[in-house]
Amino acid sequence: MFNEMPSGTLGRPVKFIYLRFMKTRIVCLPIAVLLFAMNHAACYGQSMEQMWDTTSNKKQQPNAQWFKEAKFGLFIHWGLYSKLAGSWKGKRYYGSGEWIMNVAKIPVREYEKVAADFNPVNFNATKWAMLAREAGIKYLVITAKHHEGFAMFDSKVSDYNIVKATPYKNDPMKALAEATRKQGIRFGFYYSQFVDWHEPNGGKNTWDFDESKKDYQLYYQQKAIPQLKELLTNYGPLGIVWFDLPGGLTKQETQSLVDSLHKLQPQSLFSSRVGQGLGDYKDFGDSEIPPVPINDLWESIYTHNDSWGYIRHDMNFKSSKEIIQLLAKVASRGGNLMLNIGPDGEGNIPYYSVKYLKETGRWLQANGESIYGTEYGFVPAQPWGVTTRKGSKLFLHVFNRPKDGKLLAPGFPNAVRSVYSLADKKSLAWKKTNTDLIINLPAFKSDAPSTVFVIEYACGAPSYDAKAPVTISSQFETNTVEAIKATTWGEAAIKSITFSHYYGDWKHETCITGMKAPGDSTTFSIRVTQPGDYSVILDYSCGRESAGQEGRVTLNGNEFLFKTLRTSEYDKAAPLLFIKKPVAIVNFTKAGVYSLNIHPIQQGPELFKLKSVILEPM
């Protein structure tokens, strides 16, 4: 139910021996595996950045077309942590609720007791599946076993599961798999293959077990691999198996795992976090979007609020407008968005998740053609929004309406056949000058999440020009020149910086780093479409060591000096603060393409981490 309203083989035949474990379970293991385990027991763990394996095998997947066209998926994190709801022994925790066992260092025997009270009687598979369909979801992935080690399905491998260890006594995964497929939605499982805090040989529980004495191979053979085989055997066709946080296996061993599982379901796609670059598609880090279009199959995953698992006191939900614009941005770079929700311990989906998913679905009913089955558009992001493309149609996702209603789509060499609004199909007036297409937009609500217009054009789509000048227009309150658009010199470099707000609430910003000497410079090409005065604002982060240094901005034949201001030190486990600091007003007497350069004046520490340059009309 939903809450009504919120409240606060190893190549050749081998002999086998039998190993008894967990009181009643007998597992058949090849001797070769056990011998390897004895010699490999000290296999090391990995850092979070290594575990976020964002590389895929780049092979042409015969069953990938559905994934490429789907664009919008629903992630569901649900487990014992949902019952705890972000609190343990009177203390509230913020960030990733599904990590509470780790963060609070809850002993295994204590955490096991949570299962005795886990009874999600309000879970209704049909309602969950219907919500997903109403929201415009095309595939759904749910946690079968997260890092806590508890199986949310009827596992014969371990009694630590929802059927045997809780009063609920039912298998919600079976019901949800069936209900989801009835709604025409692809179904998949998340499975944490290496990190398992419940098992003595599982990865990453250092408060109960000595990591240096763990036999990861034994854990894989006794639990992870058998449970994965259960999931791929007992729950029908799976669109996706979403692995998470690899470790404890060599590339050859990982390849053997992938091959053995693909034999069970050849059509299923495996996420890149299976590790070693052997996934069928690429997943970026949590809450990360690549700054430019990517041709590979890829997916971006985001939480609806701050946590993946349910936290009662986490009310920071993204509005439907934020979801729709995020979906459009991801699609405009060629990927899929899988948005996560966290049901509570009783089986209720949070009120605001239901509300905003339904609102997103209504937008998709009218505008889905501009999302589903599309590729990234060939017009780069503009002050007004982003573009997607399907066949001979370019879709303009307008987030910000130009004040005069005249929308510029630059870099459009093709002949135009028609221009119209997607929702009502009304034709729009337009004119074309060289490769500039200017469209007269109708009036529409300024708070609309994304108003979509369509350009039908002749001939094939032109290539995406990553080096096209960034449009600067007085028709918008803000014009942002992102770091990814820079050309760098000397030691200056464009890098993705990862940090966090709450625990596990990861953030990523593409920044220009390494500017330590006058020769380490950054240049942006901008195209000013209307003359006038503009304020130049630097959006950067600066630590104590870097603060107080001088830099120079060169633009339109003028030089402007500035001194850096301290914001915060860089610590990936803490927030990274940025300041939007105005440094100059520049006058453009005519429209045209200009070069904007930034560099330090003296040799010293890194000048700052520059996220963007903002130009605002005065």
Q: What is the pLDDT of residues 143-177, one digit of tens each?
A: 999 999 999 999 999 999 999 999 999 999 999 99
Q: Are strands 406-409 and 393-398 parallel, antiparallel or unpaired?
A: unpaired
372 domain-assigned:
no
**Least confident interval from 43-47, 59-63, 246-250, 554-558:** 43-47
30 and 171 fall within a common domain: yes
Domain that holds residue 158: 16-367
Across residues 583-611, what is the average pLDDT?
A: 98
Give a yes or no: residue 200 inside a domain: yes
Q: 351-367 and 125-134 helices cross at what angle (nearest 10)?
A: 40
213 and 269 inside one domain: yes
- Three-state DSSP string of 236-247: CCCCEEEEECCC
- Total domain count for the chain? 3
pLDDT score of 111 more than 70: yes
- Residues 347, 238 within the same domain: yes
**Whether residues 54 and 109 fall in one domain:** yes
Domain end marker among 409, 431, 466: 466
Q: Using one digit for the tens of pLDDT, what is the confidence trace for 76-110?
A: 999 999 999 999 999 999 999 999 999 999 999 99
Confidence at residue 37, expressed as pLDDT on a 0 to 100 scale: 41
Token pair 């009177």 is found at 90
Residues 461 and 357 in one domain: no
**DSSP single-letter state for residue 271:** B
Q: What is the pLDDT of residues 223-257, one digit of tens each?
A: 999 999 999 999 999 999 999 999 999 999 999 99
Q: Could you give the 3-state DSSP secondary structure of residue 175?
A: helix
Q: Are residues 442 and 586 in the same domain?
A: no
Does residue 102 lie in a domain region? Answer: yes
Q: What angle do CA 278, 58, 493 make, to 5 degrees?
A: 100
Pair 567, 503 in one domain: yes
Spatial separation of the C-alpha atoms in residues 514 and 194, rounded to whole Å: 36
Q: What pLDDT shows up at residue 49?
A: 57
Say if residue 35 is in the same domain as residue 159.
yes
- Tell me if 398 is assigned to some domain: yes
Residues 163, 70 within the same domain:
yes
Does residue 5 fall inside a structural domain?
A: no
Segment 194-219 mean pLDDT: 97
CATH number of the domain that residue 110 is part of: 3.20.20.80
Question: What are the pLDDT digits (tens) for 540-555?
Answer: 999 999 999 999 999 9
Provide the residue count of the chain: 618
Dig out the tokens for 338 from the structure. Answer: 């899988």
**Taking the complete model, does pTM exceed 0.85, yes or no?**
yes
Judge whether 35 lies within some domain: yes
**Which pLDDT value is given to residue 61?**
76
Res 1 pLDDT > 50: no
Are residues 503 and 457 both part of a single domain? no
Residues 408 and 491 in one domain: no
What pLDDT score does 194 carry? 98
Asked whether residue 8 is domain-assigned, the answer is: no
Whether residues 537 and 400 share a domain: the answer is no
Burial label for 26, CB within 10 Å (0-12, 13-18, 19+), is: exposed
Tell me which of 367, 402, 428 is where a domain ends.
367
Residue 472 maps to a domain? no
Residue 476 has pLDDT above 80, yes or no: yes
Question: What letter does residue 381 receive in the DSSP assignment?
Answer: P
Q: What is the pLDDT of residue 258?
A: 97
143, 77 in Cβ contact below 8 A? yes
Give the separation between CA 29 and CA 537, rounded to whole angstroms: 63
Rounded mean pLDDT, 199-215: 97
The CATH number assigned to the domain holding 547 equals: 2.60.120.260
- Among residues 311, 346, 367, the one where a domain terminates is 367
